[in-house]
Chains A and B, each alone.
Chain A
Amino acid sequence: MVGDIGVWKAPRTRQALAKLTLPVLIGASFGLMLLGKADALLAEHARMALGDAVAPIYAVLAKPLGAVRDHLLDATGMWDVHAENLKLHEENEQLRRWQSIALALDAENQRLKANLHWIPDNPPSFVTARVVADAGGVYARAVLLSVGPNHGVRKGEIALDERGLVGRVTEVGVRTARVLLLTDLNSRIPVILQNSRAHAILTGNNGPRPRLIYWAEGSPPQEGERVVTSSEAGAFPADLPVGTVHYTAANVPEVVPAAMLDRLEIVRIFDYGLSGLVAPDTQGRLTERRGR
């Protein structure tokens, strides 16, 4: 038997070998770092293979875990049913007003487009996928989607939830895909500020609110202004909702994402047929050296 009994009976050579294991493995971990730096695709492939292997386990676990979560939410929700109800009534009223405005504007838009012989964009194809695991880390923000075999999802496609932009597909496995969230440190998204139509870049910082940089000098982002994607560089289609501007400090415009990034359950992956930019790889690699 291995273990405490075996150790003091072991001959001296075996003891010496056992003492060598730890230094050798520590050396191997440095080798691993070099290997990971030299070939970043190696880690990516290993991760996607691991993701493919464990995704079915998560898919099985999702149901009971979801039930537990729903019960917890129900239990906590019972406390403020009354206040919630009042708030919802008020919100409903507001939404009704907006709905009538939206319908009127939509009708007007249709009329104007008909008069202008507007060529409509092709409706994008999309697949809907369940978020099975948090594929981020302490220093990365991403989610793993279960997309099933023969999915046709490709790198660079765009993920949205029911409220707004989530991020881009960065790695694709056999039955899983990884979506880099717009809050990730490596995320850079060309955006337009909706009031001034000024361009800016939205950079993730691993925090809950990504920052706006490179906005035009004359038109600083305004508090509460809506931010949408820009079709510049061909990486995104125009006018996908991203979020609203919020200042936490002077001269530091941040964006509160419209999508519920911390509780993603189901996302849609849209194929807009864009090939302007391939999404950045993980761990700070911004250039693609080998195609998949």
Chain B
Amino acid sequence: MARADQTPGMRPKHTLGRQLDVAARHAFPAVSTVVLMLLAETPLGFANQATLLPAITLACIYFWSLFRPAAMPPPIVFLIGLLLDLLGYLPLGVGVLTLLTAHGLVVRWRQVLTRQSFLAVWLVFVGFSAGAAALSWALTALLSFRLLSPGPALFQAVLTVALYPALAVLCVRAHRTVADPDQA
């Protein structure tokens, strides 16, 4: 409403088709994240494939919380975290807490972060993936009452960092085209 008053020009009518289009664009970040998560679980036949799931999920949550927080609100992050726990066989709540913490920190720092270059955003993400891997490692160990080897957590952090640029390229393209509600 407010924006409509400020910018002159012709405006499309609020038809049902257009509303559906806008809704689809709003849903794109969450839906694409879930689809990527499901794809990560197909047996692709390489070792340590299970690490792909938390890596992809964290990268998607980080990107969309940073650049389109309206389409990635906390309840959606909660549901995606629950899916991560169920698909990734983590103790219930571990993925949820990890993702919500990451989401909260990203939203708090987004004023500063969105103005930085891609490299700076990626470097900050290194901290996020290390923190997320450490948090889920510690919580899993705590909830299953046993000391786990830190190797998988380290590998998870490294894989998450390495995957981010590839996912970010796709997400940036989507962010500017199919996921942009202003283009509806």
A25 touches B75 (CB 8 A): yes
A69 touches B44 (CB 8 A): yes
Stretch at the interface among B85-93, B119-127, B165-173: B85-93
- Give the contacts of B124-156 with A (CB-CB under 8 A): 136, 139-140, 143-146, 148-149, 151-153, 156
A5 touches B143 (CB 8 A): no
Does A108 interact with chain B (Cβ within 8 Å)? Answer: no
A139 touches B140 (CB 8 A): yes
Q: How far is the CA of A141 from the CA of B49 in the complex (A)?
A: 11
Does A2 interact with chain B (Cβ within 8 Å)? Answer: yes
List the B residue with the shortest CB-CB distance to A43. B92
Contact of B156 among A26, A138, A143 (CB under 8 A): A138
List the A residue with the shortest CB-CB distance to B101. A26
Q: How far is the CA of A21 from the CA of B53 in the complex (A)?
A: 26
Does A22 interact with chain B (Cβ within 8 Å)? Answer: yes
Does B112 interact with chain A (Cβ within 8 Å)? Answer: no
Chain B residues, CB < 8 A from A34: 93
Interface extent on A, as a size class?
Answer: 35 or more
Does A93 interact with chain B (Cβ within 8 Å)? Answer: no
With A25-B74, A69-B45, A138-B153 as given contacts, are A32 and B93 in contact (CB-CB < 8 Å)? yes
A54 touches B92 (CB 8 A): no
- Give the contacts of B72-111 with A (CB-CB under 8 A): 73-75, 77-78, 81-83, 85-94, 96-97, 100-101, 103-104, 107
B43 touches A265 (CB 8 A): yes
Residues on A facing B (Cβ under 8 Å)? 1-5, 7, 9, 21-22, 25-26, 28-37, 42-43, 46-47, 50, 54, 57-58, 61-62, 65, 69, 131-143, 185, 205-208, 262-265, 282-284
Contact of A3 among B70, B82, B90, B145 (CB under 8 A): B70
Q: How far is the CA of A264 from the CA of B49 in the complex (A)?
A: 13
In the complex, given contacts A28-B96, A140-B50, what are 8 additional A-B residue pairs having Cβ atoms less than 8 angstroms apart? A21-B74, A65-B44, A69-B44, A138-B88, A138-B152, A139-B140, A139-B148, A205-B149
Residues on B facing A (Cβ under 8 Å)? 1-3, 22, 26, 38-39, 41-47, 49-51, 53-54, 70-71, 73-75, 77-78, 81-83, 85-94, 96-97, 100-101, 103-104, 107, 136, 139-140, 143-146, 148-149, 151-153, 156, 181
B87 touches A142 (CB 8 A): no
Q: How far is the CA of A264 from the CA of B152 in the complex (A)?
A: 21
Question: How far apart are B99's CB and chain A's nearest CB, in angstroms?
Answer: 9
B100 touches A50 (CB 8 A): no
Chain B residues, CB < 8 A from A138: 50-51, 54, 88, 90, 136, 140, 152-153, 156
A26 touches B43 (CB 8 A): no
Chain B residues, CB < 8 A from A36: 91-93, 143
Q: How far is the CA of A132 from the CA of B148 in the complex (A)?
A: 28
Question: How far apart are A159's CB and chain B's nearest CB, in angstroms?
Answer: 15
List the A residue with the shortest CB-CB distance to B141. A139
Q: How far is the CA of A208 from the CA of B83 in the complex (A)?
A: 26
A134 touches B70 (CB 8 A): no
